Amino acid sequence: MTVSDDQTLLSRRKALKCMAFGGAGTLFAITGGVFTPIDLAAAAGDKRLTAGLGKPLFVQISDTHIGFNKEANPDVNGTLTRTIDLVNAMSEQPALIIHTGDITHLSKPAEFDAAQQMFSRLRTTEMHTTPGEHDTADATVTEYFSRFGKASDNKGYYSFDHGGVHFVALINVLQFKPGGLGTLGPDQLAWLADDLKGRTSSTPIVVFAHMPLWTIYEPWGWGTGDADQAVGLLRRFGSVTILNGHIHQIVQKVEGNMTFHTARSTAFPQPAAGTGPSPGPLKVPADQLPGMLGITNVLVVERPRSLALVDTTIA
Amino acid sequence: MAAAGAVLLGLGGFEALSAAQAADPTRIVVKNFMFQPMSLTVKAGSTVTWTNMDEEPHTVVSSSGLFRSNALDTKDSFSFKFEKAGTYGFVCSIHPQMVGTIVVQ
């Protein structure tokens, strides 16, 4: 499948309509920052939807919440197992797995151990992580870092390169602005400026953090108070993909050459912003749950050179 | 005290906490993503106990770094003894829009 010229001419109105109905499997090819949505529900029966489209670069897994056992999903191990089976069944394996946080529900050692045991079944063995606030909820804030802190020298932020793409992991769950938004903090922002300084603007950039790097809904803390400073540093690049978790549903935004995208959880959905009294787990009938859980595949499309995001549920 | 009890009965779902417990002057209930009460005044030497009555986990983290709980699952509690007079802010690190204050006299 290729992205045809006709499809790049889709109006913004049509694009938004497609996003609204894109629950089952919608592809967003990003070309020069413009979303080109293609409804894949009508495509062939392969629900993994990656064959022929591009080369799998990485799969984003988020909000696995191992340890959660409430009504919204009494079997989060089971839904993570189905997720891992889905990834392992991809005909071409991604080079990397990126976990955007809330690996565990309560930061307990047994939860981290169980999660790592399950992740060890992934055929793709290179995994990069950033913690969620549920991973740093132990009194000493050590459980996450003792397992995953090496890449960042226990700071939580780090970068690496793969396949010509520069990846940046940010952490926004350790400090908070009054009122509840996440914070990157001056040290991390200074590091980011330095990390990006020598790079050419044609380098594709993928940034990942747990909490959204734009304000989706402030009363529930769905945003990062000083994200604008990070976004300002990224603005000169020709292709920037900013991936987050935290809100257990897909929300996306395009701003210039930057695409912001939040992933589904593998554990339970959360209500849309501002619907209901709190952002707690959303209880849905058991047969609807798998259709609200899933992963984001990120593929490299060669012509035109771009990254494509494909959201896939475990249903 | 009577008014506070009436409010709690009206909210329902508090079967595990009697009105008498909820009215305990050293107890804070975490419910509906709020510390209740949000501000508590106690005498120096008092031990304050926070109990999570939400399905969601919460934490109790001192703004000054004086104390920090583990993640509190449903019905878990955390206690801290306040020795010195002062005003102590705290937040839930999982839902940092949740804030509260202990005033120690």
A206: domain CATH number is 3.60.21.10
Determine the average pLDDT of the residues in A43-71: 75
Does residue A241 lie within any of the structural domains? Answer: yes
The ipTM of this complex is: 0.79
| Digitized pLDDT (tens) for each residue of chain B, 105 residues in all | 333 333 333 343 444 454 444 557 899 999 999 999 999 999 999 999 999 999 999 999 999 999 999 999 999 999 999 999 999 999 999 998 899 999 999
Chain B residues within an 8 Å CB radius of A220: 97
Taking chain B, what is the end-to-end CA distance rounded to the nearest angstrom? 20
Could you write out the three-class secondary structure of A110-174?
HHHHHHHHHHCCCCCCCEEECCCCCCCCCCCCCHHHHHHCHHHCCCCCEEEEECCEEEEECCCCC
Of B56, B68, B96, nearest to A139 by CB-CB distance is B68
Most distant CA pair in chain B: distance in Å?
36
- Burial class from Cβ neighbours inside 10 Å (0-12, 13-18, 19+) for residue B26 reads middle
Does residue A20 lie within any of the structural domains? Answer: no
Does residue A3 lie within any of the structural domains? Answer: no
Q: Is the pLDDT of residue A52 over 70?
A: no
Strands A205-208, A165-169: parallel, antiparallel or unpaired by DSSP? Answer: parallel
Chain B residues within an 8 Å CB radius of A274: none
**CATH code linked to domain B25-104:** 2.60.40.420
To the nearest whole Å, the CA of B102 is away from the closest chain A CA by 17
Most distant CA pair in chain A: distance in Å?
55
Does residue A187 lie within any of the structural domains? Answer: yes
Does residue A5 lie within any of the structural domains? Answer: no
Expressed as residue numbers, the domain containing A149 is 46-313
Of B74, B91, B94, nearest to A137 by CB-CB distance is B94
Residue A304 pLDDT level (bands cut at 50, 70, 90): low
Domain count, chain A: 1
Mean pLDDT over each residue of chain A, to the nearest integer: 85
Does residue A146 lie within any of the structural domains? Answer: yes
